[in-house]
Chains A and B, each alone.
Chain A
Amino acid sequence: MNFGFTEEQEMLRAEVRKFLDSKSPIEEVRKIMETEPGYSAKLWDEMAHLGWLGLLVPEEFGGAGLAWVDLTVLLEETGRSLYPSPLLACTLAVIALCENGTPNQQRRWLPGLADGSRIFSVALQEAEDRLDPEGTQTTGRSEGGRFILRGEKHFVPFATAAQHFVVSFRNSEQPNDVSLAVIDGDADGVEVCDTPSIDTTKRFGVLTLSDVSVPAERVLGESSPAGWPAIARLLDHAAAMVTAEAIGAAEGGHALIVEYAKQRTQFGSLIGRYQGVKHPLAEMYVDIESIKSLLYYAAWCLDESPAEAPLYVSMAKAYASDAFTRIGIDGIELHGALGYTWEYDAQLYLKRSKWVKSAYGGSDHHYGRVADLGGL
């Protein structure tokens, strides 16, 4: 029994942190988040060279062939730095390809993801915002060995930056009869537009598919299409990634308040001495520790014990959604008016918490799932 990180994983953490601290400190994040693609192509390339974009890509396709627990380390650190990039979208595409693609499809697309030359996004959600089979209403009409895709995908991460999209679509009225396909952003009938987000380090947009013609070799799994369970798994991976980043971001936001409480004097004393301040800070620590424990176990399950993964991913995402929301709000409140300013960083964490609670199911959705899976 060993529920801790290895030395190699701790080294990875230290390297990522050092890289992000020096190359993407918060002043840099503020610059990047105001730019149009919403990420820095230069830093993206550097991360690719360091091997971090292909962490989960098998070695034969140019990746590091590592596991979800290693990814957790990377995401905690990108979260801590509020690092703006399509890393989650691309990693989700990697998982979609690894879990559902044929060897040919993997050979075709994974190397470009590992070396950072291609930006992918994954489009699973639609305007109704349902995370069940009915959530996929985009149709894929079969026509002479091709599929004609029609529909509208919403909340597509870094949509305007992506060159390729893994999209879900419906083959028939049968609820679970859904598939995944890779389409190019410049294909005929594809239109992308940006949706303004509260947290500008996290972009998403709308992907409109107007009779996009997709050859069968672009449908993941080709003759044995993915089906709903594959999409459900992807949604679990996505929720777990959001939670892993939430841990780092929550720790970053928490550290900011703790430091302030150690410096700010009121009524003749450091405010960190008052229990009205120190107790909420202790509660945040309890919550962050607990999210870590839940998410680390969920991350391990995603690779090693897939049957358990849905329950523990939902527990982690549910707990994180509520806890980080409180940390975001208290972070502003404990700073007083200063926390409310554009210039001060507390607002960045508050905005990040709004993204965390909304992305791939909030606490109501995930606690509901915990109830379903827990035999209620």
Chain B
Amino acid sequence: MDFNLTPEQEAFRDEVRRFLDENLPPEEERDAMFQLRWGKLVREKRWVGFSWPKEVGGGGGGIMEQAILKEEMANRRAPPLGTCIMGLAWVGPAIIQYGTQDQKDRFIEDILDAKYQWCTGYSEPDIGSDLASLQCKGLREGDYYVVNGQKIWTSLAQWAKWMILLVRTNPDAEKKHDGITCLLVEMDSPGITVAPIQNMSKQPFFAEVFFDDVKVPVENLLGREGQGWQITIGALANERSGISEITGLLRELDLLKELARNSRIDGRPAIEDARVRRRIAEFETRVAAMRFNGLRYLTKQIRGEPLGSETSVNKLHTAHLEKYTAEFALELQGSYGAIAPGRKHPIDHGRWQKEALGWCTAVIGGGTPNIQKNIIAERILGLPHD
């Protein structure tokens, strides 16, 4: 074991730090103009899509360098590297791995430049966790797939220009997984209707998307017909590797400690209460475990061993922390815990209330905790399928 960086990696880290010293103003000075400038600068550095191959416009960076870059950025609370959220998270990697040259030419650069957003058409009204049973139909007719059906819980649908969509092209496939195909669909295609859904904080965060005889040209088929499931599994695993989350979680912990220092229980500082101290120490230990799990998985990747379902471990830790740190913060606030978030909230404008109502994306998106446990039990422990 060795936690030191090589001289090259150290030089890279120093380069990143220098860049941040020179180009990243304090948070309160970051206005819209800065955001634009930042986007251009990091794109020029090829730090957007840092690990993507150089041929498609990525940075061609190594796994360790990517971890260094993300950690340094998170430490300084820098804005994200690129703003095409889903494009960078999984659409791009899927196109790079399975796409035709034409698709790479058409989409990758736009993702890197954040010309527009992508959305993801996976879940359906009756199909959530059991994604492989999806029903939305795609029938091949000449040079088109004709899509009919419905998707739901589609984040960013009302703003996205393109969607990565899963449809059933072969209802008779022996294994239901083999009848699924992945299409890239333009959101202004005739026959698509988007109906936003409000989340519990009344924000139109996700939407229903209806498909009525939508014609998708065959050149927008990603991979082969019937390969959609395989592409999706790879893409979601991409989403779960998440070592850069740790810095964010550590920051949450600092804020939680701050809250405990400023709260009182029975007239005494909450921070002196043994139960409070233990709870915070438990959170801190869990974050440390995530960090070291992440480093072990990173080591595996550096050694060229594929990452499998073990990344569900950190996904479960994240879910726990997302749910229970905010909950604990509300507990520390006593009766103030029940006051609605907003400018009038006497404690941090109600940031903990917002979080206590806002963890849904991190915990449910990409597979609920129960699904992560199924994945571990079935794929790692070899227990029988449900």
Contacts and interface: CB of A to CB of B under 8 A. Distances in A.
19 contacts: A1-B9, A3-B1, A4-B303, A262-B382, A275-B386, A278-B377, A278-B378, A289-B310, A290-B289, A290-B317, A292-B296, A293-B296, A296-B1, A318-B282, A319-B285, A367-B278, A368-B281, A371-B280, A376-B271
Interface string B42-56: 000000000000000
A376 B260 contact: yes
A296 B292 contact: yes
Contacts of A282: 372-374, 376-377, 381
Contact of A273 (B299, B310, B385): B385
Contacts of B372: 282
Nearest to A290: B289
Contacts of A281: 377, 381, 383
A294 interface: yes
Contacts of B338: none
Interface in A280-325: 281-283, 285-286, 289-294, 296-297, 300, 304, 312, 315, 318-319
A130 interface: no
B109 interface: no
A69 interface: yes
Interface in B340-386: 370, 372-374, 376-378, 380-386
B220 to A, nearest CB: 38
B384 A3 contact: no
Most buried by B among A262, A270, A279: A279
Chain A contact residues, majority secondary structure: helix
Contact of A368 (B257, B274, B292, B295): B274
Contacts of B251: none
A266 interface: no
Interface residues of B, number: 49
Interface in A171-226: none
Contact of A275 (B64, B295, B317, B374): B374
Nearest to B296: A3
A273 B381 CA distance: 12
Chain B contact residues, majority secondary structure: helix
Interface size class of A (residues with CB under 8 A): 35 or more
A367 to B, nearest CB: 4
Contacts of B374: 275, 278-279, 282
B293 interface: yes
A262 B383 contact: yes
A2 B299 contact: yes
Interface in B307-322: 310, 313, 316-317
Contacts of A1: 2-5, 9, 64, 295, 298-299, 302
Contacts of B288: 294, 297, 312, 315
B300 interface: yes
Most buried by A among B1, B4, B313, B384: B1
Most buried by A among B2, B260, B284, B377: B377
